Structure 1
Amino acid sequence: MSNELVWDRPEPPSKPSPTPLSRDLIVEAAIRLADEGGLDEVSLRKVAAALNAGPMRLYGYIETKDELLDLMVDEVYGEIALPEPGTEWRTALTRIAHGMRAAAKRHPWFIDLLGGRPHRGPNSLAHIEASLATLDDRPEFPTIDDVLGAVSTVMAFVHGAVRNEITEARDEQASGMTEEQWQAASGPYMQRMLATGKFPRLARVMYDAEHTNAASWFDTGLSYVLDGIATRHTPA
């Protein structure tokens, strides 16, 4: 196995074949499989079958499944439109956050591969660079640690909020019940529990809160995060 990253390793020379093959075609097929059935449907064998190619041919382009997953993530990062340089920082981070959410809605498996060590593909690095650039060289964020802290906080919110949204969608698909149907089914039990008076704040949430949709909750939570960053970095 090569010690080179997949980004540095050249593809094998093309050869006459009834079934053309390339890393791009492999990644496109893997993404289709993941979009249709989740990451469990992604294997080199299944990707090869989708391309009508022998599995061993794929190893000339990709050595491991982890490399394939890295390439898939990078491809999705490439779909996310980045803000123009000089865009006001809140507007820029909001655009990035909504781009991440939209990408995860198109490719629900994407959120499962985020977090932990940063991805190293060219699109992933461009995304990180653009995110940092939204705050860099602005007087409110005098050090790179200030920039990194703010961007990391926004990304942590985005990852958590989108993961919750995707999980809810998966639960709905697995159970066959919408959130409203699930709440209705558990309604009698919750009413008995709330009637004990032990959960007054939860009762207010159940009876008084505006139960808005996921998009509205995302916007509200993001505004809380950005307001907090702005307050911390507003000159005294």
Structure 2
Amino acid sequence: MATPSEPGGEPRLVWERPEPPSRPAPSPLSRDGIVRAAVELADTDGLESVSLRKVAAALGAGPMRLYGYLSTKDELLDLMADAVYGEITPPGPAAEDWRAALRTLAHRTRQAARRHEWFADLLGGRPHVGPNALAYLEASMAALDDAPGFGHIDTVMQAVSTVNAYVVGAVRAEITELRAERATGLDERQWQDAFGPYMGRMLATGRYPTLVKVVTDATHPGPDTTFDAGLNYVLDGIATHLTH
């Protein structure tokens, strides 16, 4: 189904498109209600469970009625992602310190992905330009704009892009690990019991001396500590760059 267009022919994006007139029960619809139903499906059964047919069924409506509110599944995914961005951007003014502001956004992004694991699948994909995603980007940029050392908007953009790249990569890796643990049915101790003998034989060959240090000397902190430590490396790197 084609995306509706403005009179001049310019496509009208789903966030700007008016909803059709409301209809009385038994199954009144709204764009927000459609998105909430889709988010609930994805939270329960994963992103692959989301289809216009299943969302319509959850709402007690026919699939064709949904096309009055959105045109494609991609638009539904865009709306779902934007709903999560609405959970991330904190209310009220950001912290005055740019590092604290970016750290808050990074941790809130991770927490949102832990609540909605499917959100990690949409990070780093098609651009997110919904109003909540734009508010998230505005908060990120505004935290650095006019801060000491960020003399040009190009510097602001590069720093924000660097932090976002770390956050997206770290969050996606963490969610992938959680899914793998559930798929195999093995927790960390069970995995070590299953693969420990093989790893012991491989490390004993002497071909992997640095990995031996990882196994024997590394502290292996939990995911919270690991995420925060990596984020600090990135923020420290940006701060160091500003002084040179």
C-alpha separation between the residues in 2 aligned to 1:193 and 1:122? 52
**Which residue, 76, 89, 92 being the options, matches 1:68?**
76
**Counterpart for residue 5 of structure 1:** 13
The amino acid that maps onto 1:209 is A
Q: Does 2:192 correspond to 1:172?
A: no
Could you tell me which residue of structure 2 aligns to residue 46 of structure 1?
54
> What are the equivalent positions in structure 2 for 1:1-236 lying under 5 Å apart?
1=2, 2=4, 3-82=11-90, 84-85=93-94, 87-234=96-243
Give deviations 1:30-71, integer Å, cap 9, x for gaps.
000000111110000000000011111111001100000000
Is the partner of 2:88 in helix, strand or coil?
coil
CA distance in 2, matches of 1:172, 1:139: 44
- Separation in 1, partners of 2:218, 2:45: 35
SS of match in other structure, 1:201: helix
SS at match of 1:211: coil
Comparing 185-194 with 41-50, greater Cα deviation is found at 185-194
Q: How far off is 1:123 after superposition?
A: 0.4
How far apart are 1:148 and its partner, in Å?
A: 0.6
Tell me: CA distance 1:27–1:138, structure 2 relative to 1, closer, same or farther (3 Å). same
Task: Please report the TM-score for the alignment, with normalisation by the length of structure 2.
Answer: 0.93
Percent sequence identity over matched residues?
64
Aligned AA (1:74): D
Q: Indicate if the aligned counterparts of 2:89 and 2:135 stay in contact, CA closer than 8 A.
A: no
* Cα distance in 1 for residues equivalent to 2:32 and 2:211: 50
CA distance in 2, matches of 1:65, 1:160: 25
Give distance in 2, aligned partners of 1:85 and 1:196.
53
Say which is worse superposed, 139-148 or 63-72, in terms of deviation.
139-148
Range that drifts further, 203-212 or 178-187:
178-187
CA distance in 1, matches of 2:110, 2:51: 26
User: What is the Cα deviation at residue 85 of structure 1?
Assistant: 3.8
Deviation at 1:84? 2.1
> How well do the aligned residues superpose, as a CA RMSD in angstroms?
1.2
**How many Å apart are 1:154 and its aligned residue?**
0.5
Runs of 5+ consecutive residues of structure 1 not aligned to the other structure: none
**4+ aligned runs moved over 3 Å, structure 1:** none
For 1:38 and 1:72, the matched residues in 2 are separated by 13
2:77, 2:84 → 1: CA distance? 11
Mapped partners of 2:181, 2:69: distance in 1: 37
Which runs of no fewer than 5 residues in structure 2 stay unpaired? 5-10
Residues in 2 aligned to 1:86 and 1:113: alpha-carbon distance in whole angstroms: 27
- Mean alpha-carbon deviation: is it higher for 80-89 or for 208-217? 80-89
**1:78 partner SS:** helix
Q: 1:97, 1:86 → 2: CA distance?
A: 13
